[in-house]
Structure 1
Amino acid sequence: MEKTLVIDGKQVRFKSNAATPLRFKAQFGKDFFKEIYKLNAIGELTDKDGNFNYEVLEKLDFDFFYNIIWTLAKTADKSIPDPITWLDQFDEFPLMEIIPELQDLIIASIQSKKK
């Protein structure tokens, strides 16, 4: 599964495939699936009234989001450099806009196909 987003005026390709979790672990030394499931256990960022839940924010590791975005980009384009060098090319990197756009790619890497 592939998707292209415009980030800071640059077209960036993202891809999820069977190698995505292995690439994530090779680069960051963490299990892709465990990191995804940790997010599930944290809870919602807002309560039922729409109020921001600061306790959940305290538990979030935003590095994971940057790491997964880099992994999806690297899966699509093997020529991109290490994560920090890659991120340095962007003056703006609206994380909270990018993550929802890549949600399908992340879900595709953990879901099984129905038979």
Structure 2
Amino acid sequence: MLPDITGKNKVDRLPVIATDLNVEQLLGVPELLTGTGREVSLAVYNMLTEWSLLNKVQAFVFDTTASNTGRLNGACHLLEQKQQKLEPDILNLACPHYVYEILLQGVFNETSFA
């Protein structure tokens, strides 16, 4: 939850990050009104469209909250339904939040420019 533009209210935002060999790009941090799987999938899909990355996605990395992993309304399932515009075989890497942080730390340590 982050302050909105007025600083009076808090809004939920979703960082959407794309990575490639030696590249990491923050695509955007769209506001989520409800945080449902439908809204998360739409935010990710819109960012991929805006950056012309729909046909380049090879994997999604996400935490294991129900809004991401739900069988019917999870963001991953809903993104798979839009898969005709995405690569046919997308790897889904579901990690509990703390494991995801450990994995990211390892990636950043290996690819650090420092």
TM-score (norm 2): 0.27
The higher relative CO (CA closer than 8 Å, separation ≥ 6) is in 1
